[in-house]
């Protein structure tokens, strides 16, 4: 699909994570199942159609030119996997919170756990550039669950190692 990029700007990705961090914090504090549903939809759009179609990614893209940090391309495949994880987690949180009225605390605790994870994960990405979903993606590649051809740059760590050493 033409709108799915091979690489994205890491700084823009971190801005997306910061926006998600704000929204997931509000969702957790207010138990807003509808906000989790909106987040699930945006994650799904980003994973299925690419960042150009995601309202949150578009907002981050509008903010990005105001930052003077140079672009840092990063493979999109692991970020796409992370967005898929975000879609699943926020969709589950939305359903659990929607059912909480009828099922009570049975679903409230798992929704809380997901809500906390959905704050910690984007916080790590936004503040430190540490993508939990990307690490899981890399582990699945090492195990052969995700084939190397899904992300050739991810599979060839030697190129990234040489680039990191050259930057020193």
Tens of pLDDT along the chain (168 residues) come to 457 888 999 999 999 999 999 999 999 998 888 999 999 999 999 999 999 999 999 999 999 999 999 999 999 999 999 999 999 999 999 998 888 766 655 667 888 899 999 999 999 999 999 999 999 999 999 999 999 888 888 876 545 445 545 555
Residue 47, classed as helix, strand or coil, is helix
pTM of the model: 0.86
Q: Please report which helix (H) or strand (E) contains residue 142, including its range.
A: helix 132-142
Bridge partner residues of 8 (DSSP):
74
Q: Where are the domains of the chain?
A: 7-131
Q: Which residue in this structure is represented by tokens 């099922």? A: 103
Q: DSSP letter at 146?
A: S
């Amino acid at each position: 699909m033409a709108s799915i990029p091979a690489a994205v700007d890491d700084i823009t990705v971190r801005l997306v994570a910061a926006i998600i961090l704000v929204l997931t914090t509000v969702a957790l504090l207010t138990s807003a199942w509808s906000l989790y549903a909106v987040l699930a939809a945006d994650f799904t759009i980003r994973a299925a159609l690419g960042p150009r179609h995601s309202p949150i990614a578009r907002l981050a893209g509008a903010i990005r030119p105001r930052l003077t940090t140079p672009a840092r391309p990063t493979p999109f495949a692991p970020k796409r996997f992370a967005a898929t994880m975000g879609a699943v987690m926020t969709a589950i949180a939305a359903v659990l919170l929607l059912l909480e009225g009828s099922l009570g605390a049975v679903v409230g605790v798992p929704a809380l756990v997901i809500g906390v994870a959905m704050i910690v994960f984007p916080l790590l990405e936004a503040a430190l550039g540490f993508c939990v979903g990307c690490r899981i993606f890399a582990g699945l590649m090492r195990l052969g669950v995700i084939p190397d051809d899904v992300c050739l740059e991810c599979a060839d760590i030697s190129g990234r190692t040489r680039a990191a050493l050259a930057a020193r």
